[in-house]
A and B are shown apart, each in its own frame.
Chain A
Amino acid sequence: MRPTGEELAARLADSDPARRLEFDDGFRERVWRVVAARRAQPAGRTRRWWRPQLRVVTLAVPLALVLAGGAGAAVSGLIRIGAPATPFHFASPQPLSLGPAPVERGAVHLLAVVAPDPQGGPPWGLRIVTTTRGYGCIEVGRVLDGSFGGLGEDGSFNDDGEFHAVPPVDAENAAACAPLDRSGRLFYNVASAVGTASGTFFVPGGCVSSRAFAPVLLRMLERHPADSDLCPPASNRTLIYGLLGPDAESIAYTLDGQRHVQATTGPQGAYLIVGSGARSADPELGDLPFAAGTLPVDTPITEVRYRGGVVCRLVGAGQNGRTPNCLPGGHPVGYAAPPTTAAGRRR
């Protein structure tokens, strides 16, 4: 026999899980503290940006077109600048490399190199940070209005659609790092990873690609299970980047069967390739090789051109990257990073 409306209402009311729930002043204070703290941070600036509003349309754009600057075909939209991401320190007792090292004061440099995202929006860029331990680290992320950070999408930042600046913290764990040489130069000719479209890596609330960072995720989950999240596979990005030094002029690479040429940028000879999806011979690991050597080997890069007509052709995997006739004669290869203080180094 069906219950009457009144009976139903009474039964529902009796089953309300929050009926006898009391939220005390302590809860109120905790919530208000969070809201007040984030209100105090700079937020709410709005600027116009090229951003696709119909994702399916931009997905149909061939990658070659996108890499050649086709993101400009996206529909205009707005991206709000949200609060900066909360600084995050790795909590693992056994960090990836040598443990957290403070980022040296003033040693954070956003490079001029940018690359469009296959689905539009703010471009990708590179940032170099140097640590007090004498390491130089390259970070890759989204860039907007001169800020380096990530987007609130694919689970990041509660999908708020805003851009969030990301502070450089524990850079030696979170980025591609190498010791600076005695002259303070950073040699890092290729780094590659499967990232995520949001551009967030190891940021509380930001999603990450488990393929690329499964070991790190495991460590993070032990201490911060609520702070990490797996991004949907469609948001994977193949990121290949590096610093080829002041003598480099351009790279050529093949992606999806198309050959591309990219001029290197700045005195660092920086380059950045962003492709959609995860391109790796090892689908479980997801990462292409990291190499702090002389030449970007084992990547889609097929050629590096240096000043003076020197051309290094990198055909096939397993190049050792030290072929003498590939190096520009008489010039050091590598980026001259800002000098670290002698007192700050603990190497």
Chain B
Amino acid sequence: MRSDPGPFEATFDAHWQAVSRYAARRVAPEAVQDVVSETFLVAWRRYDELNGEPLPWLLGIARRVAANQRRAGARRRALLERLHGAAASERRSDLVPGDRRLAAAWALLNERDREALMLVAWDGLDHRDAATVMGCSTSAFTVRVHRARRRLARLLGRDEKGAIEIPARAGSLT
């Protein structure tokens, strides 16, 4: 039985901060507002499809909007490079400076591993909600995050033995 999600504005008020933080972790600072606005606009259009907890559903939308924004950003950088004949600077969210070893290991993870870890460690979702965001089953997400955590731990372990060359600047988050 479908539960009534209530008025859209109430959903917006309850979750805009969480969606904003989600976006801030994944796109450049100047793109956060656009991503959040677009996320809620898509959410409004599809509000009658909401069936369950709003936050994982909203973050699932935000994930796709952010991915589009990153793709558009990549094309824009390529365009600027072509037009100006030089590499345009790439503005991406970074890990908080300080843990260079973690940053170096983080940079070696693939996108899916990073997303799985971010959803749990930063967005504070349980496996069921995180699975909704990623569009997979809970058990598949559990396996994914377990493997991601193991890979990150392995990379950190190798790093502490000196097997990873740590770049001068911390690795990027996204």
Residues of A within 8 A of B (CB): 1-3, 5, 8-9, 11-19, 21, 23, 27-28, 30-32, 34-35, 38-39, 43-44, 155, 158-160, 207, 210, 214, 217-218, 221, 225-226, 228-232
A11 neighbours in B (Cβ, 8 Å):
99, 102
Assembly CA distance A217 to B129 (angstroms): 42
B76 neighbours in A (Cβ, 8 Å):
225-226, 228-230
User: B68 contacts the other chain (Cβ, under 8 Å)?
Assistant: yes
A214 neighbours in B (Cβ, 8 Å):
83
Q: Does A35 lie within 8 Å of B21, measured CB to CB? A: no
Number of residues in B with C-beta < 8 Å to the partner? 52
Interface string of B18-32 (1 = CB under 8 A from A): 001110110000110
A158 neighbours in B (Cβ, 8 Å):
38, 65, 68-69, 72
B68 neighbours in A (Cβ, 8 Å):
155, 158-159
22 A-B pairs, CB-CB below 8 angstroms?
Answer: A1-B157, A1-B160, A2-B153, A3-B156, A8-B156, A12-B121, A14-B96, A15-B95, A15-B96, A15-B98, A18-B21, A19-B122, A34-B33, A35-B12, A35-B37, A158-B65, A158-B68, A159-B68, A207-B75, A226-B31, A230-B82, A232-B75
Chain B nearest CB, measured from A230 CB (Å)? 4
Q: Does A15 lie within 8 Å of B102, measured CB to CB? A: yes
Q: Does B24 lie within 8 Å of A17, measured CB to CB? A: yes
Chain B nearest CB, measured from A219 CB (Å)? 11
Assembly CA distance A181 to B25 (angstroms): 58
Q: Which of B89-110 contact A (CB under 8 A)?
A: 93-96, 98-99, 102-103, 106
Contact of A8 among B25, B34, B98, B153 (CB under 8 A): B153
Chain B nearest CB, measured from A216 CB (Å)? 11
Q: Does A230 lie within 8 Å of B78, measured CB to CB? A: yes
The SS class assigned to the B binding surface is helix
Q: Does A18 lie within 8 Å of B37, measured CB to CB? A: no
The 5 closest A-B pairs by CB, nearest first: A2-B157, A230-B79, A12-B121, A34-B37, A18-B21
Asked whether A229 and B96 contact (CB < 8 A) given A1-B157, A34-B37, the answer is no
Q: Does B94 lie within 8 Å of A17, measured CB to CB? A: yes
B95 neighbours in A (Cβ, 8 Å):
15, 17
For residue B154, which residue of chain A has the nearest CB? A2
Q: Does A17 lie within 8 Å of B33, measured CB to CB? A: no
Q: Which of B117-163 contact A (CB under 8 A)?
A: 117, 121-122, 149, 152-154, 156-157, 160
A13 neighbours in B (Cβ, 8 Å):
121-122
User: B40 contacts the other chain (Cβ, under 8 Å)?
Assistant: yes
Q: Does A217 lie within 8 Å of B83, measured CB to CB? A: yes
User: B58 contacts the other chain (Cβ, under 8 Å)?
Assistant: no
Assembly CA distance A13 to B99 (angstroms): 11
User: B55 contacts the other chain (Cβ, under 8 Å)?
Assistant: no
Contact of B37 among A21, A31, A43, A226 (CB under 8 A): A31
Contact of A17 among B45, B93, B157 (CB under 8 A): B93
Asked whether A31 and B71 contact (CB < 8 A) given A8-B156, A12-B102, A217-B79, the answer is no
